[in-house]
Amino acid sequence: MSETQLQPAYRILTHRLLIRCWDPADAPLVERAVQANLEHLRPWMPWINQEPEPLEEKIARLRRFRSQFDRDESYIYGIFNPEETRVLGGTGLHPRTGPGGIEIGYWIDKDFINRGLATETSVALIKVAFEIHKVRRVEIHCDPHNIRSAAVPRKLGFIHEATLRQRLTDGAGGWADEMFWTLFEEDYPKSPAYTTEIQAFDAAGRRLI
């Protein structure tokens, strides 16, 4: 699909979540969420080592995320409660896995884990990836030690294709192996994502899904 035809999903509603394109005005909510999750995220998310940082840096980062989204370079989303008063995590659709592919990443606030929210988020982004971006495959990558993360693609019908050695940097400056999980378009109808209902809206608020 050409860039002029593509209408990215700026706003997605799931059963319990609002997932939307970041806005620089979200910086204080992001700061609060990240500060509360430093040790939860440190083993798995190397960007946590930028903390602590001034609010201005967060504003600048959210502006970059927003401009990457608007330019169709990378679709980085905030995960909010429906009232948009709290950041519950972050996610994204990253076209960095080669032709035809898109990668989903995620993190969830420690106070909300083990309730299926990463799974609910991934279901929504899988639908957006196949039904709006028309990708051939969706990938999820994670450290094999990250049991909670690996459980998400496993539940959603992804195939574990390989574990590559020492491909990730961990938050402690070391190296970690990387599992590659893939869902191809022909297997999407067999995934629980296929039948789950979401609402996705374009930049003008028009319903896409």
DSSP, res 207: B
Element of type H or E holding 123: helix 117-131
Please report where in the chains the tokens 């979540």 appear, as a residue: 17
Minimum CB–partner distance for residue 198 and ligand COA (Å)? 15
Per CB under 6 A, the list member of 45, 48, 59, 209 interacting with ligand COA is: 45
**What is d(CA 87, CA 47) in angstroms, rounded to the nearest whole number?**
17
Interhelix angle 55-70/27-36, rounded to 10 degrees, is 110
Minimum CB–partner distance for residue 29 and ligand COA (Å)? 17
Q: How many CB atoms lie within 10 A of CB 126?
A: 28
What is the SS3 assignment for 26-80? HHHHHHHHHHHCHHHHCCCCHHHHHCCCCHHHHHHHHHHHHHHHHCCCCEEEEEE
Site for ligand COA in 68-127 (CB under 6 A): 106-108, 113-119
- Closest CB to ligand COA among residues 59, 151: 151
- Closest CB to ligand COA among residues 7, 196: 196
- Closest CB to ligand COA among residues 24, 116: 116
Residue-wise burial string across 96-105, b where 16 or more C-beta atoms lie within 10 A, e elsewhere: ebeeebbbbb
Bridge partner residues of 92 (DSSP): 76, 105
- Closest CB to ligand COA among residues 31, 103: 103
Site for ligand COA in 120-159 (CB under 6 A): 142, 146-149, 151-152, 155
Q: Number of residues interacting with ligand COA: please give it, by CB under 6 A.
A: 22
Could you say whether residue 16 binds ligand COA (CB under 6 A)?
A: no
Per CB under 6 A, the list member of 16, 40, 94, 167 interacting with ligand COA is: 40
Minimum CB–partner distance for residue 155 and ligand COA (Å)? 5
Q: Return residues touching ligand COA (CB under 6 A).
A: 40-41, 44-45, 106-108, 113-119, 142, 146-149, 151-152, 155
